[in-house]
Amino acid sequence: MELGRRFNEPLTFGTAGIRGPMGAGPARMNRVLVRIVASAVAERLLRDPHPGGAVIVGYDARHGSRDFATDTARVLAHRGIRVTMLPEPMPTPVLAFAVKHLEAAAGVMVTASHNPRPDNGYKVYWRGGSLLAAPVDREISAIIDGTAPLSPGDLSAADDPRIVTVADEVIKAYLDAVVGLLSPRGPRSVRMAYTPLHGVGADTFLRAVAGAGFDAPQLVADQAEPDPEFPTAPFPNPEEPGTLDGLLRLAARMDADVAVAHDPDADRLAVAVPAGDRWRLLTGDETGCLLAEHLLTRPHPTEDHDPGDETDPDRSTDPDREADQDAPRRRLVINTVVSSRLLARIAAAHQAEWAETLTGFKWIMKARSQRPDHDLVLGYEDALGYAVGEAVGDKDGIGAALAMAELVAHLKTEGRTLLDLLDDLHRCHGAHATGQRSIRFEPTSRQEQPMARAMAGLRTTPPTELAGAAVTAAHDLSGGSPHLPPADLVVLELGDAAARVCVRPSGTEPKMKIYAEAVVAIDDPDNTSQLRSAQAEAQETVATLLDATARHATAPD
């Protein structure tokens, strides 16, 4: 049976890459498969009429990552493509930045991000530093399907002159870029607890924190160093219950102002805050909306420079540049269709534009690219992914953590906390609560796919009510919408649209994901009792909707 699982259902090249358990066979991550994928990336690059530019290759600290990265470089070099390798295991955002900064043709990051310990993976970035998107992803997938396993002669020597290692100047440029996201004269007094979850984020984050002028955070000692065994967190996903218990204990012990965690490749950020005598993890939506409020409220970082400071890098005597700077530009915030609608209300309050995309960060960056006359302030997805500003063309947990530290330090000068600011957002825009639930469907055969059947049922016969509330609209996005491309997603609106449920299958696992949001209006913003009651009601509604939707999705036909 195990042999069948390894050969009958090979791993597929999907959204921006490929990921799965390590092991032998086409259904596992191994050097045979990695060489095939690298060859397909090379072939697609060489089909471009102007394929110039190197490919940047990076890797994390998981088992096999260095070998996968080296094999990738050797395959590319054998095809005549120049390769620039990051010097050591590095965070994914550094790789994404380097692709953009060095004007590379593409980038490859060997990482399984926050997947379980046995996994590894392979992310591909394209010109400009954004994740691979259609149609190039489909074209590479088709090339993979037609590529036979490579022989030793299909790889160059490890010392091929076309393979070079990037200098530390690129890392310094990344650090300068993320530190430049902050207001240079803003407050910096904040006590942070931090964990990289046995991943590669600590060194780069600590350098960024020092460069920004914050005191060094205290680290969870037994999670501070990269360790492919993940001894304290075999499921190193900050959203996984219990994964951040060590961080919360440290934060309480040191009386921290905030606790932050990166996933193992540091492209996601989790935030926890003191709440009375306990610590509470913020949801991805709460973190995203708090960051948006902060970034839209504060002056732009370049506005903090002394007008007479001739060293200001944004000053220019170029008349064309000055004309560009004088042109009206709108600020832009973006989140996904399953994320909170609170972001749209925050944007409207600050006269900024809001855009909504499908799930997946490649869609967020595509929405940004479609608005060249806008400045991206924040893009986020509920699964703890945030892009602050224009520094990196993908989610970046390090830049987001710096922005969060700046916000906490600013609130501290006012004697306030993140939860105080969240209360203010609810007073102004209504108490918003979000939540999600995953339901695993194990297929019994290739023909019998219960999750697909459940999704089809939601499309053809959506429920008329959930948890006692009437379903007033059901939107099947399989055919797209006026502002979204087609997607395997169903959105149910309830009552007066103050609540909604989104249902979609996972792109990587046999799971159906259910997202719920409820909004409760607050008539008297100064009435704290009413605020707490509205927040509790919104949370209860979300929990009830998740339960009801899960029952409906799994009910027998």
> What residues are annotated to the active site?
113
CA distances for 230 relative to 94, 114, 227, 237, 473, angstroms: 22, 11, 6, 11, 45
Enter the tokens of residue 117.
């310990």
CA 466 – CA 80 distance, rounded (Å): 59
CB 124 within 8 A of CB 144: no
Show the 3-state SS of 341-392: CHHHHHHHHCCCEEEEECCCHHHHHHHHHCCCCEEEEEEEECCCEEEECCCC
Place of tokens 């944004």: 314
In which element (H, E) is residue 94 found? helix 92-101
CB 107 within 8 A of CB 95: yes
CA 202 – CA 61 distance, rounded (Å): 12
How many Å is the Cα radius of gyration of the chain?
24
User: At 472, phi and psi to the nearest 5?
Assistant: -90, -15
Beta-bridged to residue 432, according to DSSP, are 519
CB 518 within 8 A of CB 538: yes
Helices 450-460 and 528-554 cross at an angle (nearest 10°) of 120
Interior/surface letters 91-111, b for 16+ CB within 10 angstroms, e for the rest: bbbbbbbbbbbbebbbbbbbb
Which DSSP string corresponds to 201-253? HHHHHHHHHHHHTPPPPEE-GGGSS--TT-TT-SS--TTSTTTTHHHHHHHHH
In which element (H, E) is residue 533 found? helix 528-554
Enter the tokens of residue 110.
């060997």
CA 344 – CA 289 distance, rounded (Å): 9
The two beta strands, 55-59 and 218-219, are unpaired
Place of tokens 């927040």: 535
- The closest of 385, 407, 411, 417 to 398, measured between CA atoms, is 385
Give the number of other Cβ atoms within 10 Å of residue 244's Cβ: 27
Enter the tokens of residue 105.
């043709």
Q: Residues with Cβ < 8 Å from 529, sequence gap 6 or more?
A: none
Enter the tokens of residue 75.
């395959």
